[in-house]
Every structure is written in C-alpha cells, then in structure tokens.
C-alpha cells in the first residue's frame, strides 16, 4: 500500500485555521451590526409614528370641528394625540421641541391643530446618537408638515 494517495481530498491545518479565524471575526462583529440595525429600525419607526400622530391630530380637528393637540411628555418620553400618549421615544434618541408658549404645561407640551387646518405651529426634532436625525416642522398657517434631514454635527 502506498504511503499517500494522490487526489485525496481534505483540508490542511492552515486552511482550517484561516476558516476559523474568519468565522471568529464574523461572530465578533455580528452583534454590533444587529444592534445598529435594531436602532435604525426603532428610529425610523419613531419618525413614522410622530408623523402619523401629527397628521391624525390635524385630521381629527378638521373632522370633529374642535381643536386637537399632538402632545409630548418630555419627562416620561411619551407622545400621542390628546391624552392618549401611547407611543414612547427610544432611550437613545434625543428629542427637542419648538412649541408655542401657550401649549407648554410643565414637562409636557404640544402642537394644537384647529378645525380650519391651521395650528399653533412648532417642530419636533429626533436626533440619533451619531448627531444625524430629522426635524418635523408644522406650519402655523396651514398646518402642513415638512421634514428636514439634520446632518451630523
């Protein structure tokens, strides 16, 4: 019997060590990628919820014929329409508000929409830990919403 047959398949020790090294690197970086993806998903979801809440408050005011406020409680980090603060801001987001003085009540405040579609005006800024984010402006005259992307500072 010959000592070594030609054409035998298999892996050398060096090939196995390289493959294991690559696997270790992938496993070490995967948790960071998953966390970043989750934070991005949470951020985008929050922006959509804020926009939906503002639109809902405006439509409710026009439909019901009375003023309706989109409220934010900065202490509890919650927001929603009227007293239904059923959404929360993620901890990693920095939230900044620009509101009319008459709409500020302690640690909470809001943007009020009127039956004619107008509002008290204001803005909600959602800023990520990287410094990027979005600013949602509410026009006081027409109650229209506009988004501005905030660059990293």
Q: Per-domain residue ranges for the chain?
A: 13-150
pLDDT in tens, the chain (153 residues): 455 566 567 889 999 999 999 998 988 888 888 888 899 999 999 999 999 999 999 999 999 999 999 999 999 999 999 999 999 999 999 999 999 999 999 999 999 999 999 999 999 999 999 999 999 999 999 999 999 999 865
Read off φ and ψ for residue 124, nearest 5 degrees: -125, 125
Neighbouring CB atoms inside 10 A of 144's CB total 13
Q: Indicate the pTM of the whole model.
A: 0.81
Q: How many Å apart are CA 19 and CA 13, to the nearest integer?
A: 10
CATH architecture of the domain with residue range 13-150: 3-Layer(bab) Sandwich (3.55)
């Amino acid at each position: 019997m010959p000592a070594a047959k030609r054409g035998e398949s298999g892996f050398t020790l060096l090939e196995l060590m390289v493959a294991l090294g690559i696997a270790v690197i992938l496993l070490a970086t995967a948790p960071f990628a998953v966390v970043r993806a989750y934070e991005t998903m949470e951020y985008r979801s929050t922006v959509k919820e804020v926009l939906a809440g503002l639109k809902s408050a405006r439509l409710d005011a026009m439909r019901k014929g009375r003023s309706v406020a989109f409220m934010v409680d900065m202490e509890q980090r919650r927001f929603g329409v009227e007293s239904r603060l059923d959404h929360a801001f993620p901890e990693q987001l920095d939230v900044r508000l620009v509101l009319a003085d008459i709409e500020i009540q302690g640690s909470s405040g809001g943007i009020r929409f009127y039956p004619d579609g107008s509002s008290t005006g204001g803005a909600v800024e959602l800023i990520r830990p990287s410094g990027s984010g979005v600013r949602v402006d509410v026009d006081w005259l027409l109650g229209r919403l506009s988004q501005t992307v905030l660059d990293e500072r």
